[in-house]
Amino acid sequence: MTVFFTSDTHFGDPRALRFDHRPFLDLNLHDAGLIDRWNAAVSADDLVWHLGDFALGPTPDRVAEIFGALNGEKHLIVGNNDGPATLAIPGWASQQHYAEVTVDGTMLVLCHYAFRTWNGMGRGSLNLHGHSHGALRKAPKQYDVGVDVWDFRPVTLEDIRTTRRRAVAATSER
């Protein structure tokens, strides 16, 4: 089992196309594209932490249909745009506003929002968040896992660490 993280899919939310300038011609292609990319990365046996803003706008039946099309055991960290249809999906393995989990020996503090400080920060814990759609300046030990940052797909902790190491190496080579 692999653990994945994602955020801000905004399924069914037409604002995602306008505000985030996502590369999809319409909302149906957006939703289908995100489902395809999710399922290309995540298998049925994997675990996914969705850090909020799963869906907003479609009917409850459509939200449930999208949810059912996605691979993996899904946990929700509630975001500011998670409406009643998202929260009512019976298939969530858990729903909360905040979680602390350990993955590959690293403590992770999960919330929809980025923190300035968090539990265990001085002892190596990391803060994974969404909400900012890649607009926040990178900070040590803090990672935006939103789809706008990660080619519209869930990512692993190793993906996150590898990408940050490459960025630091490229900056130091200048």
Mean pLDDT, rounded, of the chain: 92
pLDDT digits (tens, 9 = 90+) for 25-58: 999 999 999 999 999 999 999 999 999 999 988 7
For 9, the enclosing helix (H) or strand (E) is: none
Can you give the pLDDT at residue 163?
A: 80
Can you give the pLDDT at residue 170?
A: 44
Decide if pLDDT at 88 tops 90.
yes
d(CA 84, CA 92): 13
**Where do the domains of the chain lie?**
3-172
pTM of the predicted model, to two decimals?
Answer: 0.93
Residues 6+ apart with CB under 8 A from 93: 47, 73, 74, 75
Residue 105, sorted as left (phi over 0), alpha (psi -120 to 50) or beta, turns out to be left
Can you give the pLDDT at residue 169?
A: 46
Say if domain 3-172 classifies as CATH 3.60.21.10.
yes
Pairing of β 47-50 and β 3-6:
parallel
